[in-house]
Amino acid sequence: MESTASTGGWPLNSIEEVREWADRAGAAVQEMEQIRVVALSRAEDGRLPAGLRKQWAKLSLQVNARVHGDGPWDQARMAAQSFWLRTRMVAEFGPDPDDADWDPDAIASGIVSAVILTPEQARDLSVRWQDQPIEQIGYLRRVKNVTAPFERLQHHLRPGPLHELALAWLSVRKVLP
């Protein structure tokens, strides 16, 4: 294995080696999380060419989908990480309507589907949120986390209902816990 000094502590492996590592890891959560973070670090590495960074991002997305459990916090974390990474790649390299991972409208639609609530419903639920049961506060917090990518994504959405919905969510996020 090569030196890790120039890679922020991560071994410098090819994308093929890391894919094989992910296949061998199976369902080992800690190992899968490490693989997700390795792939994410490569996706964020500005020294790499854009095409390779997007491949690393796709690998991180694939592993992200496998590493989380079925509980509400795990599912919200998975969604938030996925939407954040996809939005970051769009912000850095521009939209690609031919690839749903890099299509702003597909990302926005996914966020809306993951949240389930409308912005108005979330606003209503957040009134006096401090007095709500802890489960309700946790739910509103997950909504806030999942909708965070709208901040960057709004600039890449075409005018229309999704863009308006993104703006509505950005307004509501200010009152969520």
Q: Specify the residue for token string 């993951």.
A: 114
% of residues, the chain, pLDDT over 90: 77
**Would you put residue 128 in left (φ > 0), alpha (ψ -120 to 50) or beta?**
left
Cα 12 from Cα 4, distance rounded (Å):
7
**pLDDT average, residue stretch 7-27:** 75
Q: What is the pLDDT of residues 157-170, one digit of tens each?
A: 999 999 999 999 99
What is the band of 127 on the pLDDT scale with cuts at 50, 70, 90? very high
- Is 6's pLDDT higher than 70? no
Closest to 70 measured CA to CA, from 58, 78, 80:
78
The pLDDT value recorded for residue 23 is 85
**6: enclosing H helix or E strand:** none
pLDDT tens figures, 64-113: 999 888 888 899 999 999 999 999 999 999 999 899 999 999 999 999 99
Count of Cβ atoms closer than 10 Å to residue 14 Cβ: 9
pTM of the model: 0.86
Q: Predicted confidence band at 7 (pLDDT cuts at 50, 70, 90)?
A: very low
Q: Would you say residue 20 has pLDDT above 60?
A: yes
